[in-house]
């Protein structure tokens, strides 16, 4: 798959992604606030009515940006809470992002934004930390849904992806960002075709975050911590209803990881056709339908 150069009029403005983020979030039925959580100022989006659902993003961008194409649909039947992890998106960094810091932070997110136990949705790298949180603090959650998570099975990062990640870390650019898109999306061109301006802003925003030193540092810490396999004995201790949603063509975290976990732990698996690692962006309608099935799991 060929990488595509992005049309960014003023690369010097990339580091300040405020304008780009505003364009990406425009029209979403959410409000934004900043909360002091685990000693870090955290950006949080909230919207909708219904049972609370906390959405955790898995990359350099902000939570709202990662989930934006699916947020409006989710807000129709749920109260959606979308925080930026400390050190990523628009939240302040912490000295080190690890399991303890994450656990304290997420517990405060739940305490300050949810009037009842929430459903926790976690994508990609943060899914490993979310699973560990469910092991230790399942009493705080209603259910857990994992999307494209490497830590729930035997995982070896593909060599091509590792090279792409190193290049992006050393020199974030339109070119290295486009190569990441080739890994993340089944078909970047097709996803872009639906809304070219939004997709181009997304790619530019990813690059803008990648230029921020503390964002790169946080991502390195997450990759180190969250690509390690969680012992099966620990995963078996998760006592809240847990479900998996996966892009069928995920090249970053192959579907077989989810199939193995589903068979071993009895977690129902919803597979999104024509999607890679980011089904919430590639196929938002199918993704939200799959979530509704996942939400029904474990209900009386």
- Name the 3-class secondary structure at 76: coil
- Sign for the pseudo-dihedral over CA of 239, 117, 79, 219: negative
Asked if 273 and 283 count as a contact pair (C-beta separation under 8 A), the reply is: yes
> CA 225, CA 262: separation in Å to the nearest integer?
22
| 82: its two tokens | 């979308």
Decide which of 1.10.10.10, 3.30.565.10, 3.40.50.1820, 3.10.20.30 is the CATH code for 11-296: 3.40.50.1820
> CA 212, CA 227: separation in Å to the nearest integer?
22
The residues with which 151 forms a beta bridge, in sequence order, are none
Full-model pTM: 0.92
Asked if 215 and 88 count as a contact pair (C-beta separation under 8 A), the reply is: yes
Instruction: Choose among 245, 194, 222, 195: nearest CA to 55.
Output: 245
Asked if 272 and 287 count as a contact pair (C-beta separation under 8 A), the reply is: yes
Q: What is residue 7's predicted lDDT score, i.e. its pLDDT? A: 42
Distance of CA 10 to the CA centre of its chain: 27
Q: Where are the domains of the chain?
A: 11-296
Q: What is residue 58's predicted lDDT score, i.e. its pLDDT? A: 82
> CA 184, CA 218: separation in Å to the nearest integer?
19
**Pairing mode, strands 143-147 and 242-247:** parallel
Angle between helices 63-75 and 18-25 (to 10 degrees): 20
Q: What is residue 298's predicted lDDT score, i.e. its pLDDT? A: 72
Q: What is residue 4's predicted lDDT score, i.e. its pLDDT? A: 36
Instruction: Choose among 55, 77, 79: nearest CA to 66.
Output: 55
- Residues 6 or more apart in contact with residue 186 via CB below 8 angstroms: 247, 249, 274, 275, 276, 282
Which CA distances in Å does 191 have to 74, 79, 279?
A: 20, 27, 10
Q: What is residue 21's predicted lDDT score, i.e. its pLDDT? A: 92
> CA 229, CA 180: separation in Å to the nearest integer?
23
CB atoms closer than 10 angstroms to residue 55:
27
Q: In order along the chain (300 residues), what is the average pLDDT of each group of 10 residues?
A: 38 62 94 90 95 92 90 97 91 89 96 97 96 98 97 94 91 92 96 95 92 91 92 98 98 98 98 98 98 85
The residues with which 246 forms a beta bridge, in sequence order, are 271
- Residues 6 or more apart in contact with residue 216 via CB below 8 angstroms: 169, 172, 210
- Residues 6 or more apart in contact with residue 25 via CB below 8 angstroms: 45, 64, 65, 68
């Amino acid at each position: 798959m060929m990488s595509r150069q992005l049309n960014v009029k003023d690369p010097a403005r990339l580091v300040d992604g405020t304008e780009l983020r505003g364009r990406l979030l425009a029209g979403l039925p959410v409000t934004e606030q900043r909360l002091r959580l685990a000693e870090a100022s955290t950006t949080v989006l909230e919207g909708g009515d219904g049972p609370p659902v906390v959405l955790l993003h898995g990359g350099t961008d902000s939570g709202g940006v990662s989930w934006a194409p699916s947020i409006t649909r989710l807000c129709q039947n749920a109260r959606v809470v979308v925080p930026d992890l400390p050190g990523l998106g628009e939240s302040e960094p912490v000295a080190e992002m690890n399991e303890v810091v994450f656990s304290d932070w997420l517990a405060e997110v739940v305490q300050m934004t949810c009037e009842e136990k929430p459903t926790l949705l976690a994508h990609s790298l943060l899914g490993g930390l979310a699973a560990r949180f469910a092991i230790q603090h399942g009493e705080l959650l209603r259910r857990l849904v994992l999307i494209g998570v490497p830590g729930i099975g035997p995982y070896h990062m593909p060599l091509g992806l590792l090279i792409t990640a190193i290049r992006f870390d050393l020199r974030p650019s339109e070119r290295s960002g486009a190569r990441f898109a080739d890994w993340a999306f089944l078909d970047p061109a097709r996803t872009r075709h639906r809304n070219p301006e939004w997709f181009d802003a997304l790619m530019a925003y990813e690059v803008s975050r990648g230029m921020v030193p503390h964002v790169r540092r946080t991502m390195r810490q997450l990759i180190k911590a969250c690509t390690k396999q969680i012992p099966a004995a620990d995963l078996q201790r998760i006592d809240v209803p847990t479900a998996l949603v996966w892009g069928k063509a995920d090249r970053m975290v192959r579907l077989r990881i989810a199939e193995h976990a589903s068979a071993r732990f009895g977690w129902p698996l919803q597979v999104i056709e024509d999607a890679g690692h980011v089904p919430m962006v590639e196929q938002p309608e199918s993704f939200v339908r799959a979530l509704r099935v996942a939400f029904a799991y474990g209900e009386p």
